[in-house]
């Protein structure tokens, strides 16, 4: 499986911005479609954004227009630029392979890392 480590989370005020990073290692990152997922307190993990191996992107409706996913294949790194943050964006954010059948049920995927905490609060 793809080995990943998320970073960049923190505490921000509503309307603020953060950039999350996902450093991949142990395999050939550039051949993987990648996704960002999040799990809010008391809720199930949900799909947030995805990027194909050649840079095509998709977003969940809740973040469309505010978040931007990108990748640097030369550095084996995935990014999530988060703008206009809202309290409801508070969650632990995870990166993983983007596999179509886990978007609707991320719980079936067994390789989640530690994630990075994003807290949006005044």
Q: In this model, does residue 65 exceed pLDDT 80?
A: yes
What pLDDT is recorded for position 99? Answer: 86
What pLDDT is recorded for position 101? Answer: 82
What pLDDT is recorded for position 100? Answer: 79
pLDDT per residue over 68-93, tens digit each? 999 999 999 999 999 999 999 999 99
CA–CA dist 105, 122 (Å, integer):
31
What pLDDT is recorded for position 1? Answer: 74
Q: Are strands 67-72 and 57-59 parallel, antiparallel or unpaired?
A: unpaired
**Phi-psi label, residue 26: left if phi above 0, alpha if psi -120 to 50, beta otherwise:** left
What pLDDT is recorded for position 27? Answer: 66
pLDDT per residue over 107-120, tens digit each? 999 889 999 999 99
CA–CA dist 62, 93 (Å, integer):
14
What pLDDT is recorded for position 103? Answer: 87
Cβ-contact 51, 73 below 8 angstroms:
no
Distances (CA, A) of 56 to 7, 53, 100: 23, 8, 14
pLDDT per residue over 5-58, tens digit each? 999 999 999 999 999 999 998 668 888 999 999 999 999 999 999 999 989 999
């Amino acid at each position: 499986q793809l080995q990943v480590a998320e970073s960049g989370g923190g505490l921000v005020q509503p309307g603020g911005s953060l950039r999350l990073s996902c450093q991949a290692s142990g395999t050939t990152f550039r051949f993987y479609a990648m996704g960002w997922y999040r799990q809010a307190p008391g809720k199930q993990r949900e799909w947030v954004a995805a990027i194909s191996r050649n840079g095509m992107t998709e977003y969940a409706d809740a973040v469309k227009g505010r978040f931007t996913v990108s990748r640097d294949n030369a550095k084996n790194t995935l990014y999530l630029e988060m703008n206009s943050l809202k309290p409801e964006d508070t969650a632990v954010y995870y990166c993983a392979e983007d596999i179509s059948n886990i978007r609707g049920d991320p719980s079936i995927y067994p390789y989640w890392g530690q994630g990075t905490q994003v807290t949006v609060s005044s």
